[in-house]
């Protein structure tokens, strides 16, 4: 689909890789063609600081003298099969209990991608909420920054309060509007 600006078009594809430290990554369009640059600022305008490798993405891309670049992100879906991985912490918990947990507004306290986990604080509650990198990946995220506004689906697990889903703040707002 082409807009009034002939250099831009809306397309879907898959995130090849994204590095939040470098501030960019690349998307492979379903229709083929060259890799599409996805800059961190474009992702932040969508409300996320990272995106998981392999995530499905709908973007508006623009041809520039330096190649094709994403200028707008419209939607992101977690990588295919990401929901299939089961964490041992959730094995004994009824899936309906997990699905029924409300989304709660929170902030990232810290997250260490190398260690594979981090903690957040739900607004108005004193205790920390644990989140595992696999939960982030299943949610379509790759990394989180301290202070970042997010929404968490939280349950009481074996080790205390645990997130079963992590959404970027803007994505959670769009989910609740639907």
The superfamily in CATH containing domain 8-77 is: Nucleic acid-binding proteins (2.40.50.140)
Identify the sign of the CA torsion 105, 108, 109, 112: positive
Whether residue 83 is predicted with pLDDT greater than 70 in this model: the reply is no
Q: What is the pLDDT of residue 81?
A: 59
**Closest to 158 measured CA to CA, from 100, 88, 108:** 88
Q: What is the pLDDT of residue 101?
A: 83
Q: Where in the chain is the domain with CATH 2.40.50.140?
A: 8-77, 82-177
Q: What is the pLDDT of residue 4?
A: 46
Calculate the alpha carbon distances from 55 to 95, 108, 162 in Å.
Answer: 23, 22, 23
CATH of 82-177, one of 2.40.50.840, 3.40.50.620, 3.90.1520.10, 2.40.50.140: 2.40.50.140
The arithmetic mean of pLDDT across residues 26-38, rounded, is: 95
Whether residue 86 is predicted with pLDDT greater than 70 in this model: the reply is no
**Closest to 109 measured CA to CA, from 74, 64, 144:** 144
């Amino acid at each position: 689909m082409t807009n009034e600006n002939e250099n831009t078009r809306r397309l879907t594809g898959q995130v090849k890789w994204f590095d939040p430290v470098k501030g960019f990554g690349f998307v492979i369009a379903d229709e083929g063609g060259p890799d599409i640059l996805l800059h961190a600022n474009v992702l932040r305008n969508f409300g996320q600081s990272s995106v998981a490798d392999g995530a499905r993405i709908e973007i508006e891309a623009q041809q520039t003298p330096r190649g094709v670049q994403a200028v707008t992100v419209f939607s992101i879906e977690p990588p295919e099969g990401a929901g299939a991985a089961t964490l041992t912490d959730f094995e004994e918990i009824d899936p309906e209990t997990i699905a029924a947990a409300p989304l709660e507004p929170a902030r990232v306290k810290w997250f260490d991608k190398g260690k594979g986990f981090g903690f957040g604080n739900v607004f108005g509650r004193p205790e920390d909420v644990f989140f595992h990198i696999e939960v982030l990946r299943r949610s379509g995220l790759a990394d989180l920054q301290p202070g970042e506004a997010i929404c968490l689906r939280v349950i009481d697990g074996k080790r205390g309060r645990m997130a079963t889903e992590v959404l970027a703040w803007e994505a959670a707002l769009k989910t609740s509007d639907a």
